[in-house]
């Protein structure tokens, strides 16, 4: 069971690099997101990254709710799974079943996998399920999704949600601020956590006041990009 009130700071890993994953882990994050949806790495890069993440919780965002991919990532030792575009309670229930063994789910059992320390332990911790709310439909169904047994975190995908609001204004009267308040309220009502991906310029205090506790700050790519620019731009300016 995860905390619904303690701030848990994470970050996005999109390069697929075990070196960067290890550095991020040593830097003090509470959780790290290995991105198979939009990241540069492939499924083959997941295990090497999980192996070097020793302090933070390694969460894998799958590209789609494929049960076999979810099961493999958990067998490799991922602490949890994030699934994009969870727009209905039925989708959330299917994802939760893919993460659990019978009788609560449909996941296949293999006792010799890394998640069981190659057979040296008998039980695997229950994985954390981050359900991404990033569509208008997802916001409208947020309370039903939060009520699903197995959903731990309602995680707002702000880029896609903002794009939906811009693209289909006729589908809702809510703006983005109202949407995230609705998701936070849905999580609170169900006793679940809520989270969101943030930029360094976002107001963490305001999000925490709304009830957001699982906040991800930047990606390895954006942090590297800004660090490189910080180095090169003053040098370019001096050379003029």
Q: Which residues are catalytic?
A: 38
The answer to whether 14 touches 39, Cβ cutoff 8 Å, is: yes
The answer to whether 78 touches 70, Cβ cutoff 8 Å, is: no
Could you give the C-alpha distances from 40 to 35, 36, 173, in angstroms and in order? 8, 8, 36
For residue 24, the surrounding DSSP H or E stretch is helix 18-26
The answer to whether 219 touches 178, Cβ cutoff 8 Å, is: no
CA 94 to chain centre: 17
Give one DSSP letter per residue of 140-187, joined into a string.
HTHHHHHTSTT--EEEE-HHHHHHHHHH-GGG-S--HHHHHHHHHHHH
Query: How far apart (Å, rounded) are the C-alpha atoms in residues 240 and 238?
Result: 6
Neighbours of 77 (CB within 10 A): 19
Angle at alpha carbon of residue 154, lines to 214 and 89, rounded to 5°: 165
């Amino acid at each position: 069971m995860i905390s619904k009130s303690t701030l848990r700071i994470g970050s996005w890993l999109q390069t697929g690099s075990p070196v960067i994953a290890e550095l991020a882990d040593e830097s003090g994050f509470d959780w790290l997101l290995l991105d198979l949806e939009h990241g540069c790495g492939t499924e083959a890069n997941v295990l090497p990254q999980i192996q070097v993440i020793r302090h933070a919780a390694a969460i894998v965002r799958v590209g789609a709710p494929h049960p076999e991919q979810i099961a493999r990532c958990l067998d490799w030792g991922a602490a949890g799974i994030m699934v994009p575009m969870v727009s209905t309670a039925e989708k959330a229930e299917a994802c939760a079943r893919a993460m659990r063994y019978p009788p609560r789910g449909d996941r296949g059992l293999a006792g010799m996998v890394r998640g069981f320390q190659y057979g040296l332990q008998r039980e695997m911790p229950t994985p954390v399920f981050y359900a991404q709310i990033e569509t208008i439909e997802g916001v409208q169904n947020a309370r039903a999704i939060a009520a699903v047994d197995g959903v731990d975190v309602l995680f707002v995908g702000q880029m896609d949600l903002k794009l939906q609001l811009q693209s289909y204004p006729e589908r809702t009267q809510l703006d983005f601020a109202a949407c995230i308040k609705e998701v936070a309220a849905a999580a609170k009502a169900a006793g679940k956590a809520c989270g969101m991906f943030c930029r360094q310029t976002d107001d963490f205090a305001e999000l925490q006041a709304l009830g957001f506790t699982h906040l991800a700050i930047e990606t390895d790519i954006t942090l590297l990009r800004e660090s490189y620019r910080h180095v090169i731009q003053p040098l370019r300016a001096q050379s003029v």
